[in-house]
Structure 1
């Protein structure tokens, strides 16, 4: 029986949710298939694989801030649809090039950059669109459902990717993601609820950019979350850039095994999203964010700790801890940011936070790859795990620990 009431009866949200679920599942396939293609088909080195992560995230450095200004001026849904369509076309070029024998690392890097640039547009537009789609009292529930689905696809995606890569090769598996983006465009396009355009005074680009930056760093909670999350992203990006390399080459695991191990580990995220409302009701949104941020970092020690003889249980356990507490952190910091930002600044706030958070990714990935070339992959994973934990500890002594509900925060106009 279909659940009654709440967001389960909100057709517009359900279409957005379904589109995101399908697209996220496809993207999880690419997250694994793209580096596997570089490793197994193009025989890329550890540094070249780490560089791939840089091309995926680098567009943030170029486009995040101006995208925020642009998105604050226009309706968000058409941008989301266009980003989905072009992403589908770009990803479809990978299997086409593989079939014609012309696939190269240069093309893989180019597609990663294009899809990364479109992800900036979609991400900022989507995060800014949701508060206009849902009333404030349902925003946390909407974020939890969307993040739970994302975590579920992170669980199923690597397993699906492993099977698809095993059956059809890594480049062909990416076709699934192209199809998922097309499906997302159709579902988002079917939303008929009118989107109100936020009226803003159009000024020079630099002036509007500066206003968004000032808001983020003048607001104590936004400043705290943005600063320390950026440090965490630096170390975590280096870790993620080397994870598949170490699982395949360091631990000798097959693509299929890597897929189901990461899939099982991602189940922690589903659990985290499901219990988020209860944890916040018991401890408050601020303590939940601060404590879960530190505990999620501790989980990534599982990979370098795993014994080479039988690494599976330790890697899975570490991933469950990392994804479970990471989901508690992500759902609630996202809800808090949306709740304390006025609509006219929503796009710029999201773009500044995204730039600080994801913008550290290219630097972290390159540094991680260079360090791995110097001291080895496993020692580098230890460095990344320690760094990711240390930079989150300041949250435990921040004003977040005293914040029970977003409504306690005055929204700066």
Structure 2
């Protein structure tokens, strides 16, 4: 299936890159909370700074990546993230790693990750045939699942047992490994031809926005993703405070609880290659989203003194990973199948912009709610907000998709 091993190189690089990214998602917040004694508002700001590039850059990145070789984009972003985290590790060893430095590192890594994520989504279409997209996405998302297994546990353990600088250095190492793998891809990409003077970037952005707005299924993806990501960002800000402060869990235990998402996501990746063809893409999307999002409603009832707390958190993370990965793989395959090749990066960037652009505000809201309403109440409210996502999908053309992957113009319309 994979010509000249190029997909295997992409897969290996993606695994290393995602492992570094998921380790950093735990390392930076835990360093802020446990070492710098950051409050809820400061943690919300730190997470918002790391997510702000999604809002600021996604549309521009999509317009640019459609005209670049995705291999080049991924290689350059891996170099940049290696340097950013390597600098953070050095600053930490010298005793300079405070909150201002964490803000700078979080923003830099977030900005470069926007480029990487848009590029790798577009790269698959340029490496495999259209009828292999589900299998290819399942493999890549399985890569991300493997990273989710080890990344949070590794990050939490390194912060707890060693130091934040060592944890940052580990993230830099994984980005360097990703660079070494992806740079070995040799297949010439089918980048759209550049004829004459290139259109202005705003015109290219508008073309991507117009295409997504015109496609009912993609509009629904944007709305459902926006509802989920906003609520999830708020919930995770509260959750990262709730686990160590309300349940009195150590950094390594927090990392273990979060890492259970990985095995669930691995299962979700395998199921995504089979379930849509058996039960229908719409049925799988709605059911998986309801399961994965709804399970967090159980968390506010937990108590740190109960022996069932950690097993319950592991089960919650596992089910969230399974449902979330089913949704991710299925949505990505649908988006890629109904999008013409010249618009792949712009469609991915537009959905990222609309779907995740509100995450900085969600993180700030989570910090505000935690300070004013308390951790348990805030966690319950924000977890309930995540259920808006399956509701949106159920009422949209996505919920009516059948067992066959649709092509351009083949998605049922609203009404």
Q: Same-fold call, TM > 0.5?
A: yes
Map 1:229-378; keep pairs closer than 5 Å.
Answer: 229-310=225-306, 311-378=309-376
Question: 1:287: how far off?
Answer: 1.8
Q: Give RMSD over aligned pairs.
A: 1.6
2:39 pairs with 1:37: no
CA drift of 1:362 comes to 0.2
Is the 1:302–1:317 Cα contact (8 Å) retained in structure 2? no
Residue by residue, what CA displacement relative to the aligned partner does 1:76-112 show, whole Å, maximum 9, x if unpaired?
2111100100110001111211111111101100110
State the shift of 1:390 in Å. Answer: 2.9
The 10-residue stretch of structure 1 (45-54 or 259-268) with the greater mean CA deviation from structure 2: 259-268
Higher mean C-alpha displacement, 282-291 vs 194-203? 194-203
Name the CA distance, whole Å, in 2 between partners of 1:185 and 1:177: 13
Q: How far 1:391 moved relative to its partner?
A: 4.0
Where do 5+ consecutive residues of structure 1 fail to align? Answer: 1-5
Q: How far apart, CA to CA, are the structure 1 residues paired with 2:130 and 2:327? A: 19
Residues 79-118 of structure 1 mapped to structure 2, 5 A cutoff: 79-118=73-112
**Paired position in structure 1 for 2:120:** 126
Q: Match for residue 25 of structure 1? A: 19
Q: Cα distance, 1:266 vs. partner?
A: 3.0
Paired with 1:239 and 1:129, the residues of 2 have a C-alpha distance of: 32
Sort the Cα spacing of 1:227 and 1:92 in 2 relative to 1 into closer, same or farther, 3 A.
same
1:292 deviates by 1.3
Structure 1: how far apart are the matches of 2:181 and 2:280?
A: 35
Spell out structure 1 runs of 4+ moving beyond 6 A: none
Is residue 179 of structure 1 aligned with residue 202 of structure 2? no
Matched residue pairs, number? Answer: 406
Question: SS of 2:387's equivalent?
Answer: helix
Q: Check the 8 A contact 2:339/2:408 in 1, yes or no.
A: no
d(CA) in 2 for partners of 1:10, 1:363: 44
Does structure 2 retain, via aligned residues, the 8 Å contact 1:268–1:321?
Answer: yes
Q: Distance in 2 between matches of 1:84 and 1:227?
A: 30
CA distance in 1, matches of 2:408, 2:130: 14
Q: Note the C-alpha offset of 1:265.
A: 4.0
CA distance in 2, matches of 1:289, 1:212: 24
Instruction: Judge conservation of contact 1:229–1:392 (CA < 8 Å) in 2.
Output: no
Is 1:152 aligned with 2:150?
Answer: no
Following superposition, the deviation at residue 149 of structure 1 comes to: 2.0
Deviation track 1:122-156 (CA, whole Å, cap 9, x = no partner) reads 11111111100111122111111111121122122
**For residue 3 of structure 1, what is the aligned residue in structure 2?**
none
* CA 1:385–1:198: 2 relative to 1, 3 Å: same
- From 371, 382, 385, give the equivalent of 2:383: 385
Indicate the larger mover: 119-128 or 162-171. Answer: 162-171
Kept in 1: contact 2:340–2:408 (CA 8 A): no
- Contact map agreement 1:57 1:362 (CA 8 A) in 2: yes
C-alpha contact 2:51 2:360 (8 A) present in aligned 1: yes
C-alpha deviations, 1:266-319, integer Å up to 9, x for none?
Answer: 321111111212211211122211221222110222322323322112212221
Residue 408 (structure 1) shift: 5.2
1:153-232 matches, cutoff 5 A: 153-199=147-193, 202-232=198-228
Q: Secondary structure at the match of 2:213?
A: helix
Q: Distance in 2 between matches of 1:341 and 1:24?
A: 25
The equivalent residue for 1:400 is 398
Secondary structure of residue in 2 paired with 1:301: helix
Residue 378 (structure 1) shift: 1.7
